[in-house]
Amino acid sequence: MSFLSENRSRQQIRNLFGIWNLFGNYHLEFVISVFLY
């Protein structure tokens, strides 16, 4: 039971990092495009 909840929280953290990574990449591309144009 404890292992299951821990695994679920880890999955949540992984999803959060995935979203943050996606947003970070998008922001980086936006900054690069602004500097290019």
Mean pLDDT by 10 residues, the chain (37 residues): 74 84 79 82
> What confidence score (pLDDT) does residue 18 get?
83
Residues in the chain: 37
* Token pair listed for 9: 């929280």
Domain residue limits, the chain: 1-37
Q: Is the pTM of this model over 0.75?
A: no
> What confidence score (pLDDT) does residue 22 get?
78
